[in-house]
Amino acid sequence: MAMFQPHLETCPICGSIGNCHIHDYYGRSIIDFQAGKREKSDLCVMRVFCDSCEHAHAILPDVIIPYSSYSLLFILRLLGQYFAGRFTIEQLCERYQISTKQFYKWLALWKSHKQEWLGILSDLDTSDVSFLRSIILLDSFSSFAMRFILHFAHSFLQSHRNPIPASLKNAQYHQKVFAPDISIF
């Protein structure tokens, strides 16, 4: 975020260049899993405002799933361990301090988004482990995240889709580069 320069950005709503400025900041909590334990962190999220169309935009890094308290890496770690067969579902739920209902919700979301991305036939030929490895080993996770949202109008593993008003149908999606520095398996 230290390198983010809002005055150089293109507004994703109206497409104007150079009309965004820092509007405000808000606090947000995110749950992750690091060094074998669950941890909650507080983040400061920047919002920019476009003077041209008068829309505000939150600047979220790739690890944040919109409207979720859990980080993308939290969910990918959990699913990676499940796909690798290292733990039972009950053990995973206890370890990550989540309910079995939440686990199955994420698993169903994973399967749905995997099938959306790959298509039905490729989904059948691609194991969950293989697909997970392919997305976490990308040079830039952002390129996958950006293509996913452009195709489906929601972020990868986002649990609900926001209705897109007609005025936003042509809006562009923008994320900064993120390269995972963790081992999922």
DSSP per residue, 39-92: EEEEEEEEEEEETTT--EEEE--TTBPTT-SBBHHHHHHHHHHHHTT-S-HHHH
Tens digit of each residue's pLDDT (9 = 90 or more) over 51-96:
999 999 888 887 888 888 999 989 999 999 999 998 999 999 999 9
More confident residue, 144 or 85: 85
Task: Give the mean pLDDT of the chain.
Answer: 83
Tens digit of each residue's pLDDT (9 = 90 or more) over 119-133:
988 888 999 999 998
What pTM does this model have? 0.77
- Going across the sheet that includes 20-34, the strands are 20-34, 37-50, 56-59
pLDDT at 161: 61
